[in-house]
Amino acid sequence: MNNRLHEFLKRYGELSKLIEDPTLIKDQARYRETMKEYAHLAEIAGLQSEIEKLAAQIAEAKEIVQQEDGDMKELAKEELADLETRLGKALEKQKLLLIPEDPLDGKNIIMEIRAGTGGDEAALFVADLFRMYSRFAETKGWKFEIMNINETGLGGFKEIIFSISGNNVYENLRYESGAHRVQRVPVTESSGRIHTSAVTVAVLPEADETEIDIKQDDLRIDVMRASGPGGQCVNTTDSAVRITHLPSGLSVHCQDEKSQIKNRAKAMRILRARVFEMEDAKVHAERSETRKNQIGRGDRSERIRTYNFPQNRLTDHRINLTLYKLDLIMQGNAAELFDALKLSARVLQ
């Protein structure tokens, strides 16, 4: 790990000089790649500086504890405990940053959340999960866009499909694919009984047109009038679009936009991501059994997590992680959860 850190810091020094070269920006593709690498290495360099500073402060605090008595010694002990806690967290974060990245980590994603067992309560939890992910995206400075939505009368969603774009979105959210189980008292329950419902989440790395070649002859495109709750164009114009990829049988339906052209563009983005996911799954079919058992393959049928609202408890069954801060996580403060999943998966690579 120290050798990797040394190489990263050396490379950071090289890039710090390179980005000052005015000719770099003339090659936009190279400029974007360079700045992306620089941003990642800058985070590592900044964290290393913080670690060294904390280590120095810890050494000073230990010296005071050994030399002083009374109140000064007690204050130094308190400060030492705080510094050691902060250093431990910084070292864990550094460990995560130094592990080799997956080639897909930097991709944007398309996320699909669908209600499973539980009727209206499952649909309400779909809406809750969407808010959690969108609030987390806001904390990271990411952008999200609703691509298709199927609402219920109680404010829930039978299905919602949306994209999230920004730095390393797939790296942070790739392990959300699977079945999410919720245990709570539904708003429609008058007797106070706890119900168990489930929703499924799929996280698809968004593919560029150059990565997935979908031939026009392989598509069947149907247009129709939008249905369900919606705006003025529902049932009045043929704005909804269904695209079927004939070789794979994959089908995508979009009706969120009033424009047929916009719905078609969104449907193609979703279809491209689904085909990309399918092809990627074939390539990685022979994964390590250890890794598969520990972190899961992202199958939508695999139960990955339980949200127990009465106990304010979240349990991720793949890594045996339990956090008693479900209320905060549902507000988007989920970095601790996602970081734990990333670290567990990468350690097994």
Q: What phi, psi does 196 have (nearest 5°)?
A: -115, 125
**Which percentage of the chain shows pLDDT scores above 70?**
89
Q: Comparing 135 with 276, which gets the higher pLDDT?
A: 135
Q: Which of 41-55, 107-121, 165-179, 229-243 has the lowest mean pLDDT?
A: 229-243
Q: Of all helices (H) and strands (E), which one includes residue 290?
A: helix 289-295
> pLDDT class for 199, splitting at 50, 70, 90?
very high
Q: Comparing 183 with 69, which gets the higher pLDDT?
A: 183
Listed in sequence order, the DSSP H helices in 99-157 are 119-140
C-alpha span between 124 and 152 (Å, rounded): 9
E strand spans, 53-194: 109-115, 143-151, 157-165, 178-184
Q: Which of 93-102, 279-288, 299-308 has the lowest mean pLDDT?
A: 279-288
Which of the listed CATH numbers 3.30.160.20, 2.40.128.50, 3.10.100.10, 3.20.20.30 matches domain 216-283?
3.30.160.20
E strand spans, the chain: 109-115, 143-151, 157-165, 178-184, 195-205, 219-224, 240-245, 250-254, 303-308, 313-316, 321-323
- Predicted pLDDT of residue 165: 93
208, amino acid identity = D
Q: Which of 14-28, 68-82, 278-292 has the lowest mean pLDDT?
A: 278-292
Q: Mention the CATH class of domain 109-206+287-347.
A: alpha beta
| pTM of structure | 0.67
Residue 319 carries which DSSP code?
T
Tokens of 104: 């897909």
- Predicted pLDDT of residue 296: 46
